[in-house]
Amino acid sequence: MSLLHTARLNGHEPYAYLKDVLERLPTQPPSALVELLPYRWTPTI
């Protein structure tokens, strides 16, 4: 819940954020997981 609230505070739509993160998570290298945090996340096109 805190990830969704942080996404909302950073101006992201929570559903879009969560959907994108869950789709990207299996292929994201461990060293780049910080890019999926709400304050660093940029949506994929």
- Please say if the pLDDT value at position 44 is more than 90: no
What is the rounded CA–CA span in Å between residue 15 and residue 17? 5
Domain positions in the chain: 2-36
Reported as a single tens digit per residue, the pLDDT across 2-13 is: 889 999 999 999
User: What is this structure's pTM?
Assistant: 0.84
What per-residue confidence (pLDDT) applies to 21? 95
